[in-house]
């Protein structure tokens, strides 16, 4: 059990930054440990329209060696201030150009590992369409900065999430083998670490593609306020809708990510997931919209083997049995590939869906949530975006003190005043209150969770969730008498706890908004 006086004193261990993650990733590339990059085709990011990309010797026919050089050039350690600003601008352009090539290489590698796909020409049909979308998304972000006070840059963000996940898995899990694929039938064979590396790349780099649609309502509200000064009353708001043909495919996607297959290779519909994803779809939540973009643009996802008539299962099945010898190799690989594709889509669809609670932390959906929430460094709020690179006090400091199946312990330092800090904390902690809530089988959570957020003035808020396993004996668990405590939220000023602050303060603040 975590003692309060111990939890309030956190010693920073590893500060996370772009430089730290880039250097870590480059070491892995040099060792040949990012296997999907070892199989990638050389590519060009030369672009005469950008001053930063005019050097043909660096940006044409890029292989892993060139890639390491390009990434290392984006570090800012020991650079002068004017150089840092140039590098930050260059970093955004470079990552935008690298994005499709990473997605392309990851998907190609997953296809190479698909034993059903015998051809050598693994063309990534649809990535070009997504690349054009990503470019337009990046341009559209300039508008989003103006409508959301705390909007964050997503062009860089998705790469930071990817690199952070690579670091966490290799540092704290030692290997992707410890990262579980949820609801994977035991008979279909292993999904290997190198495949999981590519799976994580697609998940991380594509998880926010649907973000612009989610912001339409906020954009409309801002426009209405401006137009009121002109006496305009017949404003037609921007809306997004799909024709009937489109919604049919959308329903198929919702069913796919809301299903699993059992050891008989029969597809089982999961109604609770379907209801939760459907609600997210109605709200245009960007996770589910990102899945729709992937399915509609990438042939890789369109080729998911999925039988909507759940009782029929896969078409190559012989007789239902728990003995894998009763299924031919093609059937087992069909099922394995279904699980891989569904895992990618479900992870993306779940990362912004707080209706879905989590029991374990060593899986792709929860890894994405954690990386998405931790990634705060170099993501200035819109009101300080022009200053953050020039002023050291605006630097966000992230420390990961523990990240494993027993405890997650994160410290975030921000340059926020007391009011902004509380608003920020309330939103973030409320998310974890929902994700780690009491629900069916939540007594089986085996990890403690601590997230501390503080400012430069010594004000700190700490959210603590303690695993039920910390409180009860095995005998009590057998009797199903578990009723564990609610999470805690503590406010500290200069490391002294404030007695009248509690979890209820956070909940009340959110409910008032």
Tens digits of residue pLDDT in 417-426:
999 999 999 9
The predicted model scores a pTM of 0.88
Higher pLDDT, 136 or 450: 450
pLDDT of residue 37: 96
DSSP state of 451: E
Buried b (16+ CB within 10 A) or exposed e, 73-89: ebbbeeeeeeeeeebbe
Q: Report the candidate in 134, 36, 30, 16 with the shortest Cα–Cα distance to residue 72.
A: 30
pLDDT of residue 195: 97
Higher pLDDT, 468 or 388: 468
Tokens of 457: 């003035």
pLDDT of residue 405: 87
Please give the Cα distance from 43 to 92 (Å, whole number). 18
pLDDT of residue 217: 67
Tens digits of residue pLDDT in 37-95:
999 989 999 888 888 888 778 899 999 999 999 999 999 888 887 888 888 888 988 99
User: Which of 111-125, 238-252, 485-499 is modeled with the greatest confidence?
Assistant: 485-499
Tens digits of residue pLDDT in 337-393:
999 999 999 999 999 999 999 999 999 999 999 999 999 886 555 444 444 544 666
> What is the pLDDT averaged over residues 124-130?
81
Tens digits of residue pLDDT in 305-342:
876 554 455 544 445 555 555 678 888 898 899 999 99
pLDDT of residue 155: 77
Q: Which residues sit opposite 258 in a β-bridge?
A: none
pLDDT of residue 249: 83
DSSP 289-319: HHHHHHHHH-HHHHT----SSTTT--TT--S
> What is the pLDDT averaged over residues 124-137?
80
pLDDT band at 444 (very low <50, low <70, confident <90, very high): confident
Q: Which residues lie below 8 Å from residue 369, measured CB to CB, with a gap of 6+?
A: 350, 351, 358, 435
130 contacts 297 by C-beta, under 8 angstroms: yes
Q: Give yes or no for residue 406 having a pLDDT over 70.
A: yes
> What is the pLDDT averaged over residues 182-194?
90
Burial class (CB in 10 A: 0-12, 13-18, 19+), 124: buried
* Backbone phi and psi for residue 460, each to the nearest 5 degrees, phi listed first: -135, 140
Query: What percent of the chain is predicted at pLDDT more than 70?
Result: 80
pLDDT of residue 8: 32
Higher pLDDT, 120 or 430: 430
Tokens 């990510």 correspond to what residue?
257
Q: What residue segments make up the domains of the chain, in order of their start?
A: 4-12+398-512, 17-367
pLDDT band at 147 (very low <50, low <70, confident <90, very high): low
74 contacts 100 by C-beta, under 8 angstroms: no
Tokens of 28: 């892995």
251 contacts 259 by C-beta, under 8 angstroms: no
Cα-Cα-Cα-Cα dihedral of 309, 313, 317, 321, to 10°? -130
Q: Report the candidate in 282, 136, 148 with the shortest Cα–Cα distance to residue 215.
A: 148
Buried b (16+ CB within 10 A) or exposed e, 431-463: bbbebbeeeeebbebebbbbbbbbbeeebbbbb
pLDDT band at 467 (very low <50, low <70, confident <90, very high): confident
Tens digits of residue pLDDT in 261-306:
888 888 888 999 999 999 999 888 999 999 999 998 998 998 888 7
Q: What does the mean pLDDT of the chain come to?
A: 83
């Amino acid at each position: 059990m975590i003692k309060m006086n111990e939890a309030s004193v956190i010693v920073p261990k590893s500060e996370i930054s772009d430089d730290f993650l880039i250097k870590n990733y480059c070491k892995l590339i040099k060792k040949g440990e990012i296997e999907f990059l070892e199989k990638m085709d050389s590519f060009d990011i030369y672009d005469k329209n950008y001053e930063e990309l005019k050097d043909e010797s660096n940006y044409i026919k890029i292989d892993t060696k060139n890639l390491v050089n390009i990434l290392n050039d984006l570090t800012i350690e020991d650079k002068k201030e004017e150089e840092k600003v140039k590098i930050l601008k260059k970093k955004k352009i470079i990552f935008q150009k690298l994005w499709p090539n990473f997605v392309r290489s990851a998907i190609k590698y997953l296809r190479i590992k698909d034993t059903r796909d015998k051809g050598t020409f693994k063309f990534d049909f649809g990535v070009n369409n997504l690349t054009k979308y990503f470019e337009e998304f990046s341009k559209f972000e300039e508008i989003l900065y103006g409508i959301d006070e705390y909007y964050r840059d997503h062009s860089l963000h998705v790469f930071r999430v990817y690199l952070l996940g690579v670091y966490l898995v290799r540092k704290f899990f030692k290997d992707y083998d410890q990262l579980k694929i949820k609801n994977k039938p035991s008979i279909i064979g292993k999904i290997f670490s190198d495949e999981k590396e590519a799976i994580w790349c697609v998940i991380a780099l594509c998880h926010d593609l649907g973000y612009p649609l989610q912001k339409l309502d906020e954009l409309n509200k801002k426009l209405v306020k401006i137009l009121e000064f002109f006496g305009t009353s017949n404003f037609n708001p921007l809306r997004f809708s799909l024709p009937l043909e489109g919604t049919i495919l959308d329903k198929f996607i919702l069913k796919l990510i809301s299903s699993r297959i059992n050891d008989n290779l029969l597809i089982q519909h999961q109604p609770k997931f379907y209801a939760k994803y459907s609600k997210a779809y109605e709200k245009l939540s960007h996770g589910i919209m990102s899945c729709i973009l992937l399915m509609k643009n990438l042939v890789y996802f369109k080729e998911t083997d999925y039988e909507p008539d759940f009782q029929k299962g896969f078409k190559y099945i012989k007789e239902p049995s728990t003995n894998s010898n009763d299924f031919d190799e093609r059937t087992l690989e069909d099922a394995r590939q279904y699980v891989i594709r569904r895992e990618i889509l479900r992870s993306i669809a779940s990362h912004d869906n707080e209706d879905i609670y989590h029991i374990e932390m060593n899986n792709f959906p929860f890894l994405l949530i954690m990386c998405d929430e931790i990634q705060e460094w170099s993501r200035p709020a819109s009101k300080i975006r022009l200053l953050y690179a020039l002023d050291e006090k605006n630097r966000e400091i992230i420390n990961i003190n523990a990240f494993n199946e027993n405890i997650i312990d994160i410290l975030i330092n921000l340059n926020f005043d007391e009011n902004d800090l509380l608003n920020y904390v309330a939103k973030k902690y409320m998310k974890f209150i929902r994700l780690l809530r009491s629900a069916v089988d939540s007594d089986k959570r085996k990890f403690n969770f601590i997230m501390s957020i503080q400012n430069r003035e010594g004000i700190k808020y700490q959210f603590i969730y303690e695993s039920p396993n910390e409180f009860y004996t095995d005998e009590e668990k057998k009797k199903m008498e578990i009723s564990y405590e609610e999470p805690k939220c503590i406010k500290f000023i200069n490391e002294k706890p404030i007695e009248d602050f509690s979890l209820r303060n956070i909940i009340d603040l959110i409910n008032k908004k």
